[in-house]
Structure formats: structure tokens, C-alpha cells
Amino acid sequence: MGQMDHYDNDFEAAMLKDTSAYYSRKASNWILEDSCPDYMLKAEECLKREKDRVAHYLHSSSEPKLLEVCFLVAIFPAIWSKNVSNRVLHS
């Protein structure tokens, strides 16, 4: 068993799952309550905070995985949702 196996399989996997659930809940509220610019500012702040978290507390190998989770659950759905809404409204 490699040195990082426990980190990868036990800690990191659970952390990524919990992070995804957390930002999914946050993003669901933001998309209902905030304008697109405000939403994107909050999403950017999340990315910054997660980068800082990696720098201070986590192994550097977690950064791309963590940022991908943030992008997929917080940023991408907003972009998709806003684009679909704009297309429907302007059709």
C-alpha cells in the first residue's frame, strides 16, 4: 500500500463528496436569490477559499480535484441555467 492510499481513498474521497454536496446546496440557493454577477462573485470566492484550504491544510494533489468539484457543482450549473433562461426569454 502506497503512502497516499489512505489519504486518497479514505480522506480525500469523502472530502470531495462532502464538498460537492455543500456547494450544491449553496449554489441552489444562490441561483434563486442572486443576480448572475453576484452568483459568479460567490463562486469565484469559493474557488479562492478552496485553493487557500489546499495550500494550508491539504495535499497539493487535492487542488485540481477540489477545484473541479467546485466548478462542476457551483459554476457550470449557473452558466447553463442562465444561458437556458436567456434563450427561453429571448426566443
Residue 73 lies in a domain: yes
Query: Residue 67 belongs to what domain range?
Result: 36-85
The number of folded domains in the chain is: 1
Burial bucket for residue 33 (CB in 10 Å: 0-12, 13-18, 19+): exposed
Residue 17 lies in a domain: no
State whether residue 33 is helix, strand or coil: helix
- What is residue 7's predicted lDDT score, i.e. its pLDDT? 92
Residue 48 lies in a domain: yes
- What is residue 78's predicted lDDT score, i.e. its pLDDT? 66
Q: Cell for 25?
A: 446546496
Residue 10 lies in a domain: no
Backbone phi and psi for residue 19, each to the nearest 5 degrees, phi listed first: -65, -40
- For the stretch 63-72, pLDDT in tens is 999 999 988 8
- For the stretch 19-55, pLDDT in tens is 999 998 998 888 888 887 888 899 899 999 999 999 9
Residue 72 lies in a domain: yes
Q: What share of the chain is helix, strand, coil (3-state, %, to 5)?
A: 85, 0, 15
Residue 70 lies in a domain: yes
pTM of the model: 0.78
Instruction: Give CA–CA dist 86/19, Å, rounded.
Output: 29
